[in-house]
Amino acid sequence: MPSDPCRVFAGETEDHRLTKQALFDTLRREANAKQVELEKRLGGPVADVFAVIDGVPVAIEIQRSRLTVREIAARTASYHRLGIAVLWIGIPDSDLGLSRYSPAAWERWCHAACFGRCYYWYGGQSLRPVHFGAHALQIEESRWRRHGRVFVSPAYDKRSSLWRTPQPGNAVLVSQGFRKVHRPAWSGGSVQVPECTLYLDRQPNWWLNNTALPRSRTEPPAAP
């Protein structure tokens, strides 16, 4: 069985094709992006878009729902063994500006792997990083009667296991706002992340405070 059953062009959606083409077209006009290619075979995996940005080889993968978390993790590990940083990008199929959102399995994996952020295509080579914060469900007060007595359970907030609160960062350009980051192997709950090399944006963790978001060119802290 081939390592990339979705390639080349087979079964991809029109949104996926247009996103891939837009990234390719805009990146190849950047002076600091070299060797920009579509559908580049890199040993086993085939990157949707490949580029060497400021000397860093980067495989850009546009996620589709038919790729499983296991396949994403395996492909990420393959790029690491090849010395290539990987950038996973989603195409939003719903409004991430809503107060609550239920991330798919791949989004939860990418969120964990990328230190609390997922990337979504925003147009051209512009991406929107999104942090999925906790979401509280409001449980209403309940009353019941037993043996002639009235019992009351007060209202309270319960952390949802299904829903998250999207917290977008600033839009950032692939060719200017990212850096290569080594990610040690990590596991938590049902999520397992292999040792990998990621291409992450330079924004500090914007969701930790309520101050204005920094510009994407601002230097990041020493560690994600």
> Does 155 fall in a domain?
no
CB count within 10 Å of CB 58 equals 26
Q: Can you give the residue range of the structural domain that contains 118?
A: 14-131+167-208
pLDDT of residue 224: 36
> Does 140 fall in a domain?
no
Express as a percent the part of the chain with pLDDT over 70: 79
pLDDT of residue 167: 93
Q: Angle at Cα 136 formed by Cα 132 and Cα 137, nearest 5°?
A: 130
10-65 pLDDT per residue, tens: 457 899 999 999 999 999 999 999 999 999 998 888 999 999 999 999 999 998 66
**pLDDT tops 70 at residue 107:** yes
> Does 222 fall in a domain?
no
> Does 149 fall in a domain?
no
CA distance 221 to 224: 7
pLDDT of residue 8: 40
CA distance 166 to 135: 9
* Arithmetic mean of pLDDT over the chain: 83
CB count within 10 Å of CB 196 equals 23
CA distance 24 to 21: 5
pLDDT of residue 194: 96
Express as a percent the part of the chain with pLDDT over 90: 61
pLDDT of residue 161: 82
> Does 4 fall in a domain?
no
User: Residue 80: which pLDDT band, with cuts at 50, 70 and 90?
Assistant: very high
pLDDT of residue 145: 77
> Does 148 fall in a domain?
no
Q: How many domains does the chain have?
A: 1
> Does 159 fall in a domain?
no
Q: What is the pTM of this model?
A: 0.80
Compute the Cα dihedral for 177, 178, 179, 185 and give only its sign.
positive
The predicted model gives 86-95 an average pLDDT of 86
> Does 220 fall in a domain?
no
Compute the radius of gyration of the chain from its Cα atoms.
20
137-159 pLDDT per residue, tens: 665 656 767 887 877 666 556 67
